[in-house]
Structure 1
């Protein structure tokens, strides 16, 4: 499949030469010197019969919904078939995933992302909204960030209208919304959180109670020790990291661009984000980006923000996406039984501005799911 909707930049001085590949990313994305982009379509889950439900005792229904007609963008909505655990209670809304893929590949319909969202919806339980966004180089950053604004605006409209999607009307508690993502999707979630915290991305009458960032994909020109020490056989290598930023950022931009480096020159910083939602950040201690992620968390703490870092020993970047589920996963999730109920009771008991702290219990359970998925078989 090829695309020429938004041509990537060509190589200066090569206009007279026949088109040739100037970027080959993971064998699934090729950028040509004349701006043509060719993509290898990934395997997709497109129908209910394409993927098994997580468990017969906790089935999940799902459907695709258009949230941006102009850009032809959709999200996949997952909801427990029994609603609020069969008790008629409203469930948290997890705007998760903004999927990973370095801003250049990926879709919510890929089996790994689809399977994780099925489990999250069934076992948290929660309503999960997994949103696609425009990819580079056809649509370079900040296009993906702008699409996150569109998702949250769509959710705000759903919370405010009498014609709310029936699944959301039946099941979703719009006052308990989490914004989340993995890798590039966690980068998107960060930028959305900063806009929400600064007040220039209104979501009322919905309310964002917290954010969960899984191995956030940030950049910078200066190498960190963990980046410099990245083994050549890692999934996310230094060469791939550099390449994906080169493809994703505006033409000619360096990795200290605000879209990549939240603390680089020209970045917005945190001064205006006085109401930044509570954050839980998770990564593996073998993630090439672990030093950058630790610095991110340290800076948030220094600015007085509510943030917690959870590291997984021996795990690398995107470990929960690429490693299969184990039989231990169900046991570990079961050991967290009641945590969602406790979070809900805490949020109802607290003043609105403090309820996000209690809802970090729910975020912890999301990370527990990730940990369970990645136990060695």
Structure 2
């Protein structure tokens, strides 16, 4: 029976198996996502809490220790990675990382939830992320449903950020902002950490979870396929973070070069960490290179 089961299943990312899909359509997840509750971190003073809204999926908010209640601090809308298929704002990985980011950079963070493939095929993740971005923007007049955003967020200093697949979504949210606009909100920067973009090579996973896409010719997946469109990035600064041994390194560099050639009038920088692989800063956040990367990110957010 086990042999027959194996023969009827497709396993995606064999080196890092996430799910099996059977011929009858059944999906078996191989990596369930652990979650942790929000907290008041005693070491940093960072508070976190979860939101609920009829207009978007739940998100987790992070607020650094407030010393001046009247001051407004930069706001980072962060979108997690996981190949569009795994992870969550509520996982220990992202909870711990964004607690550290809020503390080190003294920023407020909204950690975005989106529905995952393969149960929910792309582009639904883009739609979910945009709904949360608009929900955040609904607080610009200080009368929204979330008091932390009303009281502490500086809507003149908003950043979109993400890692891996989340960086892909963050880029696409920036492009959509340039088209649709966010009244009263100034998004000043885009932070892309080990971004997941396609090139001209086939990608079995993306082909499966994004069946309506033209793949390497789709600017959502391969921004370099429409270089002139990149001039519409709705911010003035971009930081691309790459890692020397990351299997996506060349795609991050291609994105950086495409933006530079696009005619976009902002400033784009790239920071490459030698000797490290994909999102190493999440798996080993206390190593010196992860600390250096955190310092680079903090500097970008506070420049």
Tell me by how many angstroms 1:271 deviates. 5.8
Partner Cα separation in structure 2 for residue 30 and residue 129 of structure 1: 31
Equivalent position SS for 1:291: helix
Once the two structures are superposed, residues 185-214 of structure 1 have per-residue CA deviations (whole angstroms, 9 ceiling, x without a partner) of 0000111111223xx232121211111000
Distance in 2, matches of 1:160 and 1:261, equals 36
Answer with 179-188 or 270-279: which moved more: 270-279
TM-score (normalizing by structure 2): 0.85
Match of 2:173 in 1: 192
2:63 equivalent to 1:79: yes
Q: Specify the alignment match of 1:211 in structure 2.
A: 190
What is aligned with 1:201?
Answer: 180
Note the 1:4-15 alignment, pairs <5 A: none
**Structure 1 residue ranges (4+ consecutive) displaced by more than 6 angstroms after TM superposition:** 327-330, 333-336
Compared CA separation, residues 333 and 38, structure 1 to 2 (3 A)? closer
Which residue in 2 is equivalent to 1:292? Answer: 251
Mapped to 1, the partners of 2:121 and 2:246 lie a distance apart of 25
1:222-237 paired onto structure 2 within 5 Å: 222=201
Q: Which residue of 1 aligns with 2:73?
A: 91
1:301-334 deviations in whole A, cap 9, x for unaligned? 112332111111111111111114148977x699
Q: CA deviation at 1:104?
A: 1.1
Partner of residue 20, structure 1: 8
| Aligned match for 1:138, one of 103, 113, 119 | 119
- Return the offset for 1:245: 1.8
Aligned residue pair count: 294
Distance across 1 between alignment mates of 2:213 and 2:290: 44
Structure showing greater radius of gyration is 1
Match of 2:155 in 1: 174
Structure 2: runs of 5+ lacking an equivalent: none
Root-mean-square deviation (Å): 3.1
Query: How far has the Cα of 1:161 moved from its partner?
Result: 5.2
Verify the 8 A CA contact 2:227 2:258 in the aligned structure 1: no
| Cα 1:255/1:33, change in 2 over 3 Å | farther
1:361 aligns with 2:290: no
Q: Which residue is equivalent to 2:35?
A: 44
Cα deviation, residue 246, structure 1: 3.2
Q: Secondary structure at the match of 1:270?
A: helix
After TM superposition, the score normalised by the length of structure 1 is: 0.69
State the alpha-carbon separation in 1 of the partners of residues 295 and 125 from structure 2.
36
CA distance in structure 2 between the aligned counterparts of 1:249 and 1:283, rounded to whole angstroms? 25
> Where in structure 2 are the equivalents of 1:140-155 lying within 5 Å?
140-155=121-136
Question: Aligned partners of 1:109, 1:63: CA distance in 2, in Å?
Answer: 10
Q: Which of 48, 51, 59 is residue 65 of structure 1 equivalent to? A: 51
Query: Judging changes above 3 Å, is the alpha-carbon distance between structure 1 residues 363 and 307 closer, same or farther for their aligned structure 2 residues?
Result: farther
Whole-Å Cα distance in 1 between the matches of residues 270 and 221 of structure 2? 20
